Amino acid sequence: MSDPGVMRYIRTPISDEQAVRDRVQSWENYTRDYPKLGVFVAVSKSDGAFVGYCVARHVNFDSFIPEFEIGYTFLKPYWGQGLASELVPVLAAFAFEQTQAPYLVAFTDPENLASQRVLTKNGFELFGQRQVYEGISNEYRLLPSSMPLLP
């Protein structure tokens, strides 16, 4: 959360330790209320190393928003290795199974072309733009019928 490069397309980096603890506590509170949703640790299949995290949750953790979002964040050393392309279909299948949502959303900064390619490759379609988090994001949507088959 503190690396400006990693957070470039997500939100302002957080370097204050208490602010990070508060954010993680809010994630834990959400998972307590919605046990099969939230933030999940992403680890390397080869050695179990922490590579980042992913989310399957209500948009912005707000249960009053009747939409569910998936997303991911990886540490820089793991960029460009196809991890997002491997993760997205599994995470989407999981989110649909847990929520029975009619569609899922994913948001990208309009300049984040790499994530946009990952999403479209995995059946997401550009729906428009939307104010989320700290700015305007491209909103992508995935219907269950548009999901690629899992390997």
Output the pLDDT for position 10: 60
Q: Is residue 151 part of a domain?
A: no
Output the pLDDT for position 48: 92
Output the pLDDT for position 15: 76
Output the pLDDT for position 11: 59
Cα of 143 vs its chain's centroid, Å? 16
67 Cβ contact list (under 8 Å, min separation 6): 58, 59, 101, 103, 105
Q: Is residue 84 part of a domain?
A: yes
Kind of pairing between the strands at 135-142 and 68-74:
unpaired
Number of domains in the chain: 1
CB atoms within 10 A of CB 142: 25
Closest CA to 2 of 76, 71, 100: 76
Q: For residue 130, what are the domain limits?
A: 4-146
Output the pLDDT for position 17: 86
Give the helix ranges, DSSP H, for 78-151: 83-99, 113-121
Q: Is residue 100 part of a domain?
A: yes
Output the pLDDT for position 8: 57
Q: Is residue 93 part of a domain?
A: yes
Q: Is residue 77 part of a domain?
A: yes
CATH number of the domain where residue 120 is located: 3.40.630.30
pTM over the 0.75 mark: yes
Output the pLDDT for position 144: 93
Output the pLDDT for position 3: 62
Query: For the chain, which residues score pLDDT lower than 50?
Result: none
